């Protein structure tokens, strides 16, 4: 049982303004694993005031000083990888091997990459008779989700600190304990008072207070499109900058001539990663109608390899969903798929065999899915794959782009040139070509209702900078 009863504000663990708390539930056992304080608008006021006070001195530090501090944070997280990965696996349900590699490995890379980037990034440039300088935007509000909790925090906090901004963080109240451990690491690394502040609580209270606060200069939000619209509306009240990383319904397009076995293995993997609780999950497999039967067989055979179970069992590939509400929501979509006439190949809405407790859902595959169906349009956020057949390449492009979202995608073809030619027609923020791997230095973000702005690498750093010119 982990009890966190204080907020991190102004360089100290302080009592919250109120006395309300929230329980954190282990997604595998359904038992209470911890409690956190529920902050309120008064706590946000205190945190913003601390961040405003700290901004002047922190923004004046050299980029070399900030790089050293980011390196200390990288080392601090690295020294506690096992503890952090175990914590996130308990909160979210991610298999432990994936937690080590992704849930904690990517945050380590985020802090390391920003530290390295500072040594290369040019904050000033000459344009004719002007000196153009890039300066930190000010106090950054970070509002983060539960599916990759530490990664999403790090993707905001690392570039904000690198830019010279101070931060007020509201972590997810579903998987918040890892954020408190990060605050411990910040404190141990000697972060100056007020540079990093943590206020936990519900989005409707703490998140909205951050988004509308006059002392917050920008907000970076990751979460649902519905909540992102609300953050943008609140931020517009005082015309603050808002960056949004929202939902996705990404397509994995398999073209004739591709290696179907490799394409199916890669596509299924990127659909079921983290039990499908991934905004960039490849949840729509767009395949040639002439090869539908062959690809269906390959998908079913691949799905059998995805053992459902305890995330601390190293043979498990799909753990539980994060909560009972999320499990019920995903099962509702599976039922909806059946009701609308999709062909169920494997899985279903029932509890997986041999599993009593835990928020589990069977890995589920539908075929003969049409773009008009709910399961082809709405973000499910669970281990559910839809196979959509196409007639020709023009039809494949239409299906791939038939979504309000545009976060990610993949193309499998006979060679990279063919894959890239097709990918250029996709209205989405990043596309994997023939299994190209995730690049933590490349920009991450989407088109359409998948968001505004980019994270990671120098693109992510630039989101936290203002541009000023001196004419001479």
Q: In the prediction, which pLDDT does 197 show?
A: 98
Give the tens place of pLDDT for each residue, 369-392: 999 999 999 999 999 999 999 999
Tell me if 95 sits within 8 A of 89, measured CB to CB: yes
Give the tens place of pLDDT for each residue, 198-211: 999 999 999 999 99
Helices (runs of H) and strands (runs of E) counted in the chain: 16, 23
Q: In the prediction, which pLDDT does 181 show?
A: 98
Closest-CA residue to 191 (of 70, 108, 301): 70
Domain parsing of the chain, residue ranges: 2-246+450-471, 251-445
pLDDT mean over 457-464? 97
Q: In the prediction, which pLDDT does 145 show?
A: 97
Q: In the prediction, which pLDDT does 211 show?
A: 98
Tell me if 220 sits within 8 A of 243, measured CB to CB: yes
Closest-CA residue to 45 (of 209, 242, 211): 209
Closest-CA residue to 362 (of 334, 323, 404): 334
Give the tens place of pLDDT for each residue, 249-292: 999 999 999 999 999 999 999 999 999 999 999 999 999 999 99
Give the tens place of pLDDT for each residue, 98-122: 999 999 999 999 999 999 999 999 9
Percent of the chain residues topping a pLDDT of 70: 100
Give the tens place of pLDDT for each residue, 118-165: 999 999 999 999 999 999 999 999 999 999 999 999 999 999 999 999
416-423 vs 393-401: helix crossing angle, rounded to 10 = 50
Q: What mean pLDDT is reported for the chain?
A: 97
Q: In the prediction, which pLDDT does 361 show?
A: 98
Tell me if 197 sits within 8 A of 50, measured CB to CB: yes
Percent of the chain residues topping a pLDDT of 90: 99
pLDDT mean over 169-177? 97
Q: In the prediction, which pLDDT does 260 show?
A: 98
Q: Report the alpha-carbon distance of residue 6 to residue 12 in Å, rounded.
A: 9
- What is the DSSP annotation of 10-62? TTEEE--SS--EEEEE-TTT--EEEEEE---HHHHHHHHHHHHHHHHHHHTS-
What are the residue numbers of the active site? 245, 279
Q: In the prediction, which pLDDT does 91 show?
A: 97
Q: In the prediction, which pLDDT does 348 show?
A: 97
Q: In the prediction, which pLDDT does 453 show?
A: 98
Q: Report the alpha-carbon distance of residue 112 to residue 371 in Å, rounded.
A: 41
Q: Report the alpha-carbon distance of residue 243 to residue 164 in Å, rounded.
A: 18
Q: Report the alpha-carbon distance of residue 238 to residue 41 in Å, rounded.
A: 17
Instruction: State the fold for domain 2-246+450-471.
Output: Aldehyde Dehydrogenase; Chain A, domain 1 (3.40.605)
Query: Which tokens hold the place of 290?
Result: 């002439």
Q: In the prediction, which pLDDT does 411 show?
A: 98
Q: In the prediction, which pLDDT does 459 show?
A: 97
- Residue located via tokens 């109120």: 18
pLDDT mean over 345-357? 95
Position 78 confidence tier, pLDDT thresholds 50, 70, 90: very high
In sequence order, the 6+-apart residues with CB closer than 8 A to the CB of 405 are 225, 246, 247, 248, 249, 250, 379, 446, 448, 449, 450
Q: In the prediction, which pLDDT does 414 show?
A: 97
DSSP state of 290: G
pLDDT mean over 302-321? 97
Instruction: State the fold for domain 251-445.
Output: Aldehyde Dehydrogenase; Chain A, domain 2 (3.40.309)
pTM attached to this predicted model = 0.96
């Amino acid at each position: 049982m982990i009890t966190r009863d204080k907020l991190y504000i102004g360089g100290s663990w302080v009592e919250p303004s109120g006395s309300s708390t929230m329980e954190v539930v282990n997604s595998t056992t359904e038992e209470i694993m911890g409690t956190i304080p529920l902050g309120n608008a008064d706590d946000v006021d205190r945190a913003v005031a601390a961040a405003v006070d700290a901004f002047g001195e922190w923004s004046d530090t050299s980029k070399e000083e900030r790089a050293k501090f980011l390196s200390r944070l990288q080392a601090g997280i690295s020294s506690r990888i096992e503890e952090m990965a175990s914590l996130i696996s308990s909160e979210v349900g991610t298999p432990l091997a994936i937690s080590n590699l992704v849930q904690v490995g990517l945050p380590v890379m985020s802090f390391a990459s920003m530290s390295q980037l500072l040594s290369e990034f040019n904050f000033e440039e000459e344009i004719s008779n002007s000196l153009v300088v890039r300066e930190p935007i000010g106090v950054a509000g970070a509002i983060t989700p539960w599916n990759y909790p530490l990664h999403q925090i790090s993707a905001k906090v690392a570039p904000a600190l690198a830019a010279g901004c101070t931060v007020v963080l509201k972590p997810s109240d579903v998987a918040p304990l890892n954020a408190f451990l990060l605050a411990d690491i910040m404190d141990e690394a000697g972060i100056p008072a007020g540079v990093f502040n943590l206020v936990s609580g519900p989005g409707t209270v703490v998140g909205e207070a951050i988004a509308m606060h006059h002392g917050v200069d920008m907000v970076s939000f990751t979460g649902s499109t519905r909540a992102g619209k609300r953050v943008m509306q609140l931020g517009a009240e005082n015309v603050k900058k808002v960056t949004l990383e929202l939902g996705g319904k990404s397509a994995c397009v398999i073209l004739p001539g591709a290696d179907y076995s490799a394409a199916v293995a890669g596509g299924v993997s990127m659909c079921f990663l983290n039990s499908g609780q991934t905004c960039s999950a490849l949840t729509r497999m767009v395949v040639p109608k002439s090869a539908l039967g062959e690809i269906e067989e390959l998908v079913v055979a691949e799905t059998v390899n995805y053992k459902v179970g305890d995330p601390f069992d190293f043979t498990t590939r799909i753990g539980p969903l994060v909560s009972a509400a999320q499990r019920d929501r995903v099962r509702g979509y599976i039922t909806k798929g059946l009701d609308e006439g999709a062909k169920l190949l494997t899985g279903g809405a029932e509890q997986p065999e041999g599993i009593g407790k835990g928020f589990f859902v069977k890995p589920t595959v539908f075929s003969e899915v049409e773009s008009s169906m709910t399961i082809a349009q709405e973000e499910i956020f669970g281990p559910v794959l839809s196979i959509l057949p196409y007639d020709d390449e023009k039809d494949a492009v239409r299906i791939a782009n038939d979504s309000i979202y545009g976060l990610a995608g993949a193309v499998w073809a006979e060679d990279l040139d063919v894959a890239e030619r097709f990918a250029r027609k996709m209205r989405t923020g990043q596309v994997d070509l023939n299994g190209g791997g995730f690049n933590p230095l490349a920009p991450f973000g989407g088109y359409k209702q998948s968001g505004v702005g980019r994270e990671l690498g120098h693109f992510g750093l630039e989101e936290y900078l203002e541009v000023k010119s001196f004419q001479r």
